[in-house]
Amino acid sequence: MSKRHRHYARRRKKKKQSQQELLEAARGLLGQYDLSGLSQRAGQKRRRFILHVGPTNSGKTYEAMEALKNAISGAYLGPLRLLALEVFDKLNAEGCPCTLLTGEEYEPVPCARHVASTIELCDFRQEYDAVVIDEAQMIADPSRGAAWTRAILGVNAEEVHLCLAPEAEPVIRTLLDSFAAPYEIRRHKRLVPLVFSGTMKGLDGVQPGDALITFSRSGVLNVAAALEQKGVAASVIYGTLPPASRREEVRKFAQGETNVVVATDAIGMGISLPIRRVIFCQTVKYDGVERRPLTWSEIRQVAGRAGRYGFCERGEVLTMSDAELVETALRRQPKAIRELTLPFPQEALDSEFDIPTLLKAWETLPPLKRLHRADLSEALILYKALDQALLKGVEKETVFRYISCPVDTGNRDLVRYWRDCAAALLQDWSVPQVPFGDEDLESCELRYKALDVRHQMLRRAGIEENVRTEQERLARRINELLREDKSAFLRRCPRCRRLLAFDYPGRLCERCQRQMEKKRAELFSERMERIQKNS
């Protein structure tokens, strides 16, 4: 090695050591923000907690909402925009003025002292008489659970109602005990019995009032298209469907304009629908990392939507695959949740460490027993997408506020649009208009997401812009497209375009699969012959 190469090798080694030392120092700082420190601050607040523990359709949320409605001031904090919207509509209809606040909508109501909000937008500066924190078992979720931990520890209310599944009781009680909070437990039993009714083959046995469950947008639209070919009108509910469109699909099913609903597990979070039977078309889902069988808790959460109180005498659950898994999940209690998720300490932004160092240090901290750390991998992706030259002189709090904007980082078009919005705000330019059209369902959904990104980035910059008119127009357009012929969403063999059953396991039809295997065998045989001749 030459003298010059040795010089650069020493410099690289020294730089790597320096970066490693910096990372270790950042880990030391972040490690100080553990649960004990958060609990100590939480213990200084004078609050009383009421735990509403019960399965789905047990009336636990109803009782908590009655307490909220009777309070002079209060807040509902839930996991979904649609749930916040339902509470907003219900409280205002019952004469309790309520404001709506989600990442997408802000609808103030004159004289309102109540707010219905998604949990990430909890206002910790405001004082309330009562607060309802819904679906508290989500405290263990690595991607969103930190919002529940933060709300339980920090919300300012005399009375806090926590609605949770029975398996979450141990972790919630442990958290409350950590800061000596007084609490009482109110147990709720399911109001309508839930029974396993066996297996179902194909879609011929579908009945009015059924909810068919699959685990992807394409799966939902494919099943709905197959049903409509049989003359069965179907509503659809899936995660990327805009809230206003989802609300319209729910209305059509609730009012009998459609016979069944086809949905992903998004239906499991508190959406009140007149469902008689839940039918699992699949028992395997992709969770963002791998395809895996459903957990018992996931099955019970979705299955519990069957049998709405006052609508039918019992709820039934059926499946088209792995009957043993579904029956076992309904028969046995799921394992107790004992983990919770720690929020990222934004106080650390005041330190000397830059944002990428803090994010990398947070991601690489040693694991803690029964504690997850909030997943900031998407924030790191967004940070890397920024032009680093634009960040010089910008406060870290501002940068963190922008990179914590909820963006589907799996969609490159959305990430690019977010980057353009962030660059414009950092340079005090006008934020670019949404570049996507509305010619088909996928384009409309992408445009709606981009409008959401624009709205949230502007809000983070202290600018309120009314995009609701355009979002409502898009929602109507999406509902029109969903009302039209869904045959375009039917599964077809990519080679011969022959129709495939919604639950057909392969990508190619049987005939094309045989032809492809025959061709492969012939090619392999020819290759072996050539090898033998050459040898």
CA distance 482 to 498: 23
Nearest to 58, CA basis, from 215, 163, 167:
163
Answer whether residue 508 shows pLDDT above 90.
no
| Domain presence at residue 340 | no
Query: What is the per-residue pLDDT for 34?
Result: 80
Domain boundaries, position 327: 194-331
pLDDT of residue 50: 98
Same domain, 205 and 316: yes
Instruction: Examine the fold and report which residue of 187, 222, 251 is the final residue of a domain before the chain moves on.
Output: 187
Q: What is the pLDDT of residues 249-295, one digit of tens each?
A: 988 999 999 999 999 887 877 667 889 999 999 998 877 677 889 98
Has residue 11 got a pLDDT over 70? no
Q: What are phi and psi of 182, to 5 degrees?
A: -70, 135
Measured between alpha carbons, how far is 459 from 444 in angstroms, rounded to an integer? 22
Q: Transcribe 419-454 into DSSP letters.
A: HHHHHHHHTTPPPPPP----SSHHHHHHHHHHHHHH
Does 263 lie in the same domain as 119? no
The reply to whether 324 and 388 lie within a common domain is no
Question: What is the structure's pLDDT at 472?
Answer: 84
Q: What confidence tier does 102 reach under pLDDT thresholds 50, 70, 90? A: confident
User: Does residue 135 lie in a domain region?
Assistant: yes
Local confidence band at 528 (pLDDT 50, 70, 90 cut-offs): confident
pLDDT above 90 (res 6): no
Q: What's the mean pLDDT in 195-209?
A: 92
> At residue 263, what is the residue type?
A
Q: Which residues contact 175 (CB under 8 A, 6 or more apart)?
A: 39, 139, 149, 152, 153, 340
Least confident interval from 28-42, 320-334, 356-370, 396-410: 28-42
User: Do 199 and 92 share a structural domain?
Assistant: no
As for how many domains the chain has, the answer is 4
How much is the pLDDT for 214? 92
pLDDT > 80? residue 488: no
Residue corresponding to tokens 């025959």: 518
Place of tokens 């694991």: 367
The predicted-structure confidence for 428-444, as pLDDT tens digits, reads as follows: 999 999 999 998 888 99
437 in a domain, yes or no?
Answer: yes
Q: What is the mean pLDDT of residues 77-93?
A: 90
Q: Are residues 78 and 174 in the same domain?
A: yes
Distance from C-alpha of 188 to C-alpha of 57, rounded to nearest angstrom? 9
Nearest partner of 164 among 156, 172, 152, judged by Cα:
172
More confident of the two residues 476 and 115: 115
* 459 and 503 share one domain: no
Q: pLDDT category, 17, cuts 50, 70, 90?
A: low
The yes-or-no verdict on residue 502 having pLDDT over 80 is no
Residue 39, amino acid: S
Indicate which CATH number applies to the domain containing 202.
Answer: 3.40.50.300
SS3 401: helix
| pLDDT of amino acid 481 | 87
Span 102-107, average pLDDT: 81
Alpha carbon distance 490, 162 (integer Å): 42
> What does the pLDDT read at residue 41?
80
Most confident of 70-74, 248-252, 307-311: 70-74
User: How large is the angle between the packed helices 355-363 and 377-385, nearest 10 degrees?
Assistant: 150
Q: Which of 440, 466, 483 is the last residue of a domain?
A: 483
Mean pLDDT computed over every residue of the chain: 88
Give CA–CA dist 57/165, Å, rounded: 11
The residue among 515 and 161 whose pLDDT is bigger is 161
CB atoms within 10 A of CB 469: 8
Last residue of a domain, one of 125, 153, 187: 187
Contacts of 447 (CB under 8 A, 6+ apart): 434, 436, 437, 438, 474
Q: What's the confidence (pLDDT) of residue 370?
A: 84
Helix (H) or strand (E) holding 117: strand 114-118
**Does a structural domain hold residue 211?**
yes
Contact of 188 with 58, CB cutoff 8 Å = yes
Residue 275 lies in a domain: yes
- pLDDT value at residue 181: 93
In sequence order, the 6+-apart residues with CB closer than 8 A to the CB of 75 are 68, 114, 115, 116, 117, 122, 123, 126, 128, 131, 132, 155, 157
- Residue 62 pLDDT > 60, yes or no? yes
Residue 67 and residue 181 in one domain: yes
The answer to whether residues 325 and 439 belong to one domain is no
pTM: 0.83
Q: Is residue 4 part of a domain?
A: no
Q: Does 472 map to a domain? A: yes
- Cα separation, 106 vs 118, in Å, equals 11
Same domain, 179 and 39: yes
Of 243 and 214, the structure prediction assigns the larger pLDDT to 214
- Please say if the pLDDT value at position 166 is more than 60: yes
Residue 335 has pLDDT above 90, yes or no: no
In the DSSP assignment, the letter for residue 337 is P
Is residue 138 within 8 A of residue 124, CB to CB? The reply is: no
For residue range 377-432, list pLDDT tens digits in order. Answer: 999 999 999 998 999 889 999 999 999 999 999 899 999 999 999 999 999 999 99
Residues 144 and 253 in one domain: no
pLDDT for residue 44: 81
Residue at 72 is within a domain: yes
φ, ψ of residue 23 in degrees (nearest 5): -65, -40
C-alpha dihedral over 227, 228, 230, 233, to 10 degrees?
90
Task: Tell me, yes or no, whether 57 and 145 share the same domain.
Answer: yes
Measuring CA to CA, which residue among 148, 84, 156 is closest to residue 126? Answer: 156
User: Of 1-15, 22-36, 282-296, 297-311, which gets the smallest average pLDDT?
Assistant: 1-15
Task: Please indicate, yes or no, whether residues 402 and 322 belong to a single structural domain of this protein.
Answer: no
Q: Is the per-residue pLDDT at 450 higher than 90?
A: yes
Tokens of 406: 């909820």
- Residue 69: per-residue pLDDT: 95
